[in-house]
Amino acid sequence: MTQRYVVVDLETTGNSVKKGDRIIQFAAVVVENNQIVDAYSTFINPEQPLSPFIEELTGIQSSQLVDAPRFSEVAPKIAEVLQDGCFVAHNVLFDLTFLQDEFLHNGFEPFYCSTIDTVELAKIIRPQATSFKLSHLAEEEGLAHDRPHQADSDAEVTAQLFINFCEELRKLPLVTLKQLYRLSYSLKSEISELLALILKERMSVSPIHYPHLQIHKGIAIRKPETVSKTSYDGEASYPQSAEEKIALLNQAFPHFELRNDQLKMMDAAYHIFNDEKIAIIEAGTGLGKTLGYLVPAAFCALEHHEPIIVSTYTIELQNQLIHKELANLHKMLPFELKTAVLKGRPNYISLAQFDRALRTKDDNYETALIKMQILVWLLETETGDKDELNMTAGGELFWERLQSVKSTSNEHERSWQNFDFYERAKENAKDADLIVTNHAFLMSDFFSNNGKGMSNSLLIIDEAHQLENAALKHLGSSIDYVSLKMMINKLGFYDQKQLLYKLLNMVGNLGGNISNREADNLLHDAIYEIEQFFQLLSKACEDFQKNMHNKNAVALHTILKSHGNSQPLTHLAERLHKQLQTLSSYLLENAAYVTEHGQPGKTQLFHLSEIESIAEFFKSRAGNFLEYFLRNKDSFLYWVEWHKNSPGQYVYLYSQPISGGQELWHRFFAQQNSVILTSSTLTVKGSFEYIKNKLGLHHHDIETYSFPSPFRYKEKVKLLVASDIAEVNKVSQAQYVKQIAEYIEQSALACKGRMLVLFTSQEMLRDVHESLRELSSLEDFNLLSQGISSNSKTRLIKYFQNFDKSILLGTSSFWDGLDLPGETLQCLMIVRLPFSPPNEPLTEARCDQIRAEGRNPFTEYALPEAIMRFRQGFGRLIRTNDDKGIFIVCDRRIVTTQYGKDFLLSIPDVAVNEVNLHDVQNSIKQWLK
């Protein structure tokens, strides 16, 4: 490669040119012919002091820069180095902007050249990288990076990365390179010029053979590896003695720390499967719960010749189990264990959809980038699972166009049938010894197959306290204005020449009796009915909100009663039901006519598939309207939610059973041979009765086990209760938010971030976030807030782990399933005891149901639920034997009410101290020192 590349890195006094920040160090490494040929670096006197933060970050002290040259003195040399080169940097816009500004500021002409951003390049070449930070990429590439945040070191590492990436590009299949080159013109840096050079090189040499790849319709894809089911001829029996188990665990953990209760849990799980029982096992944090069930599960799979299914609540936890725990399990076992992963269909890419998207030329930056990432990823992935990809938010949105859909008779889809990753995952699972899935997929599989899903399997339900939630979500449904309008817009009127136009033309070309006006009228009528219904529903919600102090979720029957006369809304729902049914039938009949009377081509088949999908959507929603307003199911809750500030379009209707226990027993547990339900928090006041009742197991013979945490919590946790925060209902929202923000400020300063704050309300979180942003004392802190910084829990956790001095604010999903060991998390704050809002529709319905049975809804539902969530929250703090932390509760009810004692008794015995705002910082420092 004869092109000259100048790889640049700068250190600066801050991040903003506009605020007067200046360069303190410049470094450049010159690359020619894929080799480093020259380097230059210099400190620069910025003529302003460095902040303590910059000195700590870079290791450069203000005193080192006193005698350094000013930028004007080194500008000619820098210009000489940059001359005739392509400007390469990691986040190129930052370095380029600073340099250009310094040249102009010092009276020099700006320079002009092509640029390459190695962040952009890394996203394409390493689409599965966990992070695109320079330090993480260097670690993954095995590059020494001893002085991060010093320009000479960073420039050299960036140059090495660039060289590696260029080598990787050269090795790509020609078809992939050509696709990348076409898409690269939509990128922000001139990667297209680099690809053009590499393409020219490749065209002049002999073709490369790729035995592990296959090319289909111009897309190169990795061939799947075939792994046979376990066939073990030797003697491998379950390790009965403690010594045998310890020897097994030592295979993966040479410095294994003996936990007797973990060994007892293994024995319990092994006997539960052999005796075909249903059992609940509570395993305290730090016990080694996952291996506590995986080891006996592996031996049972071998002995019984039956697959073991392990299900956990979220895909994040599923991924953690796959990449961490199963890797350790494989090291221990004296036999091969075939494992498979099953997730919901939308998690897998549809190559038919991707092929279609590739042929679309209307790319913006985000779509071009994700297409390029996927083209490279397809050379590596065997699963087609989107969780392998590190996508931008725009990429996540684009994925919705690519996710796998149910197979159709569509010829275009059929041509990709042998490359269906979802079907491949299901086939792999048929031969697997151990299948890892999640609760949502498990519930969908069982309920959709009338209890026959994944039959003849032994089941382990991890995070079992969340199983009912997953079941309720699957058994429920929803309707919203935006989705209905989106589907209508996809069809379009005849003169808009979208899907409806295409359907009518296909029918007309085959001699079918078709009327453009009739079709347009059907669409007009549907739009009219949708608008009429949602306008009236929105008006009812607005009126209700005004009268009920900004409440934005309520049972549907309450809205209908509050509106005075429910008849108009019910009548509109009935009309909309009929209109959607008519439109659905019309689309399906005409699509069937084309299939029966013609031979549609690839593009036509793709359009027919989309039309059939839209028709099924309308048919489903038509049934929902009938159910919600005219044919309510027994023991179901129907409710409505809306955005407080703009109820108009943003109104959502939902339904689900009020409780899931009965459905879970009859359609799930009663169909199983053996099930283990486990979690770290399954008891309330030492009893399993609440969880048994919740899961429909209270009238059945269920074995229960409880193994405590091995951690010495008194030495590891100090619990502080804020003594001077007023009760939320005794002060204004603004005053309460101010008090919480002050406690977060003092706590964060004491432990230098590394702090998780748990809320029960997204509204409260937003207000506290805004208050914290105003505090100058936290300027150097990384404030991460759920629903503000990102909606992705995975991305927020990654940022929290990657950046020092981070404060993470989270709501519901952060209360459990979060593993942040070591110094990543040292301070956990709970703003309010985690009671569900009493006027939230599902809580209200459950309390009414319990009350109607003559029982106490507070003691039998609200309090046990809050205690279980409180225990889950507490469990986030100490994850390993070396951890130490502070647990702060800002809700004084924990010490002022009778039921507050139940919360304190639900967690391990730790010292409880009341502290005021003035003393909280010192208390934390004293404990953590």
Please state the residue numbers annotated as binding site for ATP: 283-290
Helix (H) or strand (E) holding 602, with range, is helix 602-629
Q: How far is the C-alpha of 887 from the C-alpha of 756, rounded, in Å? A: 10
- Coil, strand, or helix at residue 785? strand
Helix (H) or strand (E) holding 699, with range, is none
Q: What is the CA radius of gyration of the chain?
A: 31
Q: How far is the C-alpha of 499 from the C-alpha of 505, rounded, in Å? A: 10
- Report the first-to-last Cα separation within the chain, whole angstroms: 55
DSSP, residue by residue, 50-68: PPHHHHHHH---HHHHTTS
Which residue, 419, 396, 409, is CA-closest to 350? 419
Which residue, 143, 155, 202, is CA-closest to 36? 155
Helix axes 499-509, 602-629, angle to 10 degrees: 120
Token pair of 380, please?
Answer: 């590596």
Q: How far is the C-alpha of 743 from the C-alpha of 191, rounded, in Å? A: 48
Cβ neighbours, 10 Å, residue 194: 24
Q: 52-67: b or e for each residue (b if 16 or more CB lie within 10 Å)?
A: eebeebbebebeebee
Tell me the residue type at 432.
A
Q: How far is the C-alpha of 609 from the C-alpha of 607, rounded, in Å? A: 5
Which residue, 425, 420, 372, 378, is CA-closest to 398? 372
Which residue, 132, 284, 325, is CA-closest to 798? 132
Q: 747-781: b or e for each residue (b if 16 or more CB lie within 10 Å)?
A: bbbbbbbbbbbbbbebebbbbbbebbeebeebebb
DSSP, residue by residue, 516-562: HHHHHHHHHHHHHHHHHHHHHHHHHHHHHHHHTTT--EEEHHHHHHH
Q: 799-808: b or e for each residue (b if 16 or more CB lie within 10 Å)?
A: bbeeeebbbb
CA distances to 8, 120, 224, 683, 762 from 93, in Å:
11, 11, 40, 54, 35
Token pair of 148, please?
Answer: 């991060």
Considering only the C-alpha atoms of the chain, give the largest distance between any 2 of them, rounded to a whole number of Å.
88
Helix axes 567-597, 499-509, angle to 10 degrees: 40
Q: How far is the C-alpha of 406 from the C-alpha of 350, rounded, in Å? A: 10
Q: How far is the C-alpha of 864 from the C-alpha of 869, rounded, in Å? A: 9
Q: What is the dihedral of CA 493, 496, 498, 503, to 10 degrees?
A: 50
φ, ψ dihedrals at 914, nearest 5°: -90, 135
Q: How far is the C-alpha of 907 from the C-alpha of 867, rounded, in Å? A: 9
Query: What ranges make up the beta strands (E) of 686-764?
Result: 703-707, 717-722, 755-758
- Coil, strand, or helix at residue 308? strand
Could you identify the residue written with the tokens 């394409």? 124
Q: How far is the C-alpha of 563 from the C-alpha of 640, rounded, in Å? A: 14
Tally of helices (H runs) and strands (E runs) in the chain: 39, 25
Numbered residues of the known binding site: 283-290
φ, ψ dihedrals at 928, nearest 5°: -85, -10
